[in-house]
Every structure is written in structure tokens, then in C-alpha cells.
Chain A
Amino acid sequence: MKTDEMERAKKIYEETEIPKELHGMVAGLIENDREKRSGKHSESSEHKKKDQDVENIVSMKKIRRRKNYMLKRTAAAAAAVIVVFTAGLNVNEAFAETAASLPLIGQLAKVLTVRSYHGGEGDFNIDMEIPAIESAGSGAISDTEFTEKINREIEKISDDYMTQAKAEFEDYKEAFFATGGTEEEWNDRKMDIIIDYDIKYQSNPILSLELKTAKGWVAAAEERHYYNLDLSADRELKLEDVLGEDWKEICNRETDRQIREQIASDDSLSYFGYGDNGLTAEKFTSVEEDTDFYINADGKVVLVFPEYSIAPGYMGVIEFAVGDAKL
């Protein structure tokens, strides 16, 4: 066999089309792994376990700091275009109308959009609806400390997400050109950033609110945050509050059962540690106090597992309805 024939075969091999999502998938797995490791670190350091991983984490923090610095410019630019609605109901007639049509949670509170922006902005397509919870006193709006705290948290999550997503994309863009990518290959690609919310359940005095953040570029990634509130008592509900003292057992039994049911009926679905799928990541074992959940319109408790937590990334965010909420 002549060498040039093998060379030609090599060239064809190298020209194998690479799926667009490959890079994003690998980057996502690495990012996820890093986050998992930095999470572990914060616990162990309290116990003064001086592990070599510590240095690892420190160097990662440095990288993050550099990112944040880069971000400041883009964040300032973003702030300039974002339309900010202050939450005053009588400021503007059109706004007051919208607010009036928004769902009321009994007499206790309402959820409304406080910041809204839809449109392109440089490298980004942004769809943003940031909610806030307003406690309604008699007549005048009086925010309680409790809802204020949650509103601040929602605002922070949204702002941080926007900042991080943009930094990530700028880093990616920088690396793309630094490694010899051309303008033509870049082909004016943009990142979609979505921040949105959904009222999952509302019945005086219970509110179950979902805040969803997502970004899409070479791969899509989605994160969700949940607020299950008892507004009469000014507190966040735990799984135990809605399922009773057997909450752990109920959740684990139902999750395990539904995973088995799913993989038995559809072999394109897979979960870590279930069946012989060769996936070695940690299997679902148990829910914890901080496992995400919401209450759906039928009053059922729905567990939510983030991407990559109990199944491969292609499975996305996973939900299991485990039982009726005791409200």
C-alpha cells in the first residue's frame, strides 16, 4: 500500500463531520465537574482537611476572577439597555393595567414582572422577565422583609446569570479566534440568554414560583430555582412540610419507581447507575432537604433534578411528581 493512499485516508478521517453540540457537551461536563469539586471543597475546608485539591480550587477561583473582571464591561453595557420597571403600580397607566391582570395570591401577595427585556444586544439575544413578589397590605403596597429577601435573591440570581453567561460566551469567542477560527466560520453566531418565571401553584396563602435561566449556543443549558412559600407564616416550605414526616421515603420510592418505569418503556432514556448503560457517574440514592421541588397546578409535589445530576445531559432537567401536597 502506498503511503500517499494512507495519507488520503487520514485526510478523510480527519474530515469526519463533528457534531455541533460536541464542544458544548464536553465543556458542560467539565464545568459541572469543577463545580462539584469546588462544592466539596467548601465543606472539607471547614474541617481543615488540607487536601491537594485545595490548591486546585484556588487556581480555579483565579480563573473565575479574571472572568469577572472581563465581564464588568459587558455588564455595564447590558445595564444600559435593560428596561427597568420600578414596582410602583400607579406610575404608569399601561403598566398598572398589566399589573392588575397578574395573578393575585389571595389578598396576601402578587407576583409581577419588575424587569423585562426582549431583543438583540451585540452577541446576545436576550429574553428576560424577572419577577418579584409583592405583599399586599390593606390598600397600600407594603413589602414584608420576607418577600423583600426573596426578591433580592431572585434579582441576584438573574444578574449573576446574565453576567456569567456573557463572560462564558466572550471567553469562547476569544478562544475561537485565538485558535485560528475565521470570521466566516464564526458566522455571526450569537448566544441566547433566557430568564423567565412561571407561577406553578397559587392558592392562598401558598405560592410556588419557578425561576428559569437558560443559555443556548453550541449547547443549551438550563438552570431552575424554586420558591415554595407560605405567605401567612412568611416562610419557605420544605419537602417535609408538604409531604409529612415520611417525605424522604416517599420521594425516594417514587423516584426509583419512575426511573425504572421510564427505562423499561423507552430505551432511549438513561439514568446514572440504572440498567447496563455503562454510565459510571453516581446513581440516584436519596433526596435531601435541599432537593428542588415545586407544587403543580393539581397540588402535587414535583421533584426537580438539575441537568447532569442523576442522568446524562441529553436528558435535561428531570421532574417526578411524587404525591399530593398536604396544604
Chain B
Amino acid sequence: MALLSKKDTNLILDPLADNNPITIQVLGICSALAITAELKASVVMALSVIFVLGVGNVVISFMRNMIPNKIRIIVQLIVVATLVIIVDQVLKAFAYELSKTLSVFVGLIITNCIIMGRFEAFALGNGPWKAFLDGIGNALGYGVILIIVGFFRELLGSGTLFGFKVLGDPVTKTGLYATGYENNGFMIIPPAALIVVGIIIWLQRSKNRALIEEN
């Protein structure tokens, strides 16, 4: 595999686990809490961030030698805002219902700390190819957590996955509901996402003790 050198592979794989933007750097929590009640919204959000961060990192990387240092934040904001508007318009055109569920949170991708963080920390100092891999990697790391959280919240909270009633019908009492099972309303409310993310952090750190911060 000459396509990706080992260093390049690490750019993608590191943010997936040991340097995950959500569980290790604890960035982008706000949207992780807000939109993970449904798996579909989580996936779309993850894809949006992958697009924005992947393309944005490349654009910033190309422009890195032209941007005056003093106004670099503004330039970054313009780039990310442009990309987010594209995402928003695409969603409105092709997935209107979903864009209503995601509502303001698509717009708020602009303020997602992960994106500005990667622009600042990586794209401004590295070439376009590396920046692209880094952007994809970090967005994937963000997306993986979003999808895990969304999976558990939708399954336990609504008994569905992508809207399909995988556990049976709660109204007509089929499937698991026939045994007296009920949906857990707690998983629908945003604090549940905080607890699920917390459990992921807990499991990850108990598996890899090197990640535990000393204090």
C-alpha cells in the first residue's frame, strides 16, 4: 500500500481512538448532545462535518501562506461559513425534514471547536494532502462517537434505528413490547447523551490507561 504512508495512516486513525476529538479532547460536545437522539441525524451531522472539515482543511492549507496572521481567524470563519451554507442548502433541497430536525445545529457547525481547532492546529502548518487526511480523520473520530451515541439513544429511547421499529411496535405491543418492555424516555433528553459520552470516555480510559490525565 503505497497510497498512504504510515504517517499518513496515523493522521486518519489517531483521531478515531487515542486522540478522539470528543472523548479525549472533549471538543464539539454541544452538537453531540443536541442531535444524537436519532441515528439518522447523527449520521447526517457526521457526514456534514466530514465534508466541511475535509474540504475546509484543504482550502486553508492552500491559502496558508497567503493569509495574513492577524486576520486568519476571520478567513477561517469565512471558509467554514461558506462550506456550512453549502451543506445547509443541500440538506434543505434534498432532505428537508431532516434539515428541520437538525435545525440550527447545521449552522452551528461553524462554531464547532473541532473545525476551528484543526484549521488552527494543523491546516495552517501542513500541506493540502496531509491537511485533508487530518480533516477526514478528525471528522471521522467525531462522527464515530456521534453514531455510537445516536445508536444507543435511538435504540433505547425510541426503540427504532434509522426510524425502523427494530424492537417491535410500542402501540400495538408487538416484538419486545409484548413482554412489557417500554422505551426509556430518559434517553431522549440531552443529558442522556452526556451520560453516554461519559460512559464511552470511561470505557476507553479503562482500556487504555495511558489516556488517563494526571491531576
Do A and B actually bind? no
Q: A residues bordering B, Cβ < 8 Å?
A: none
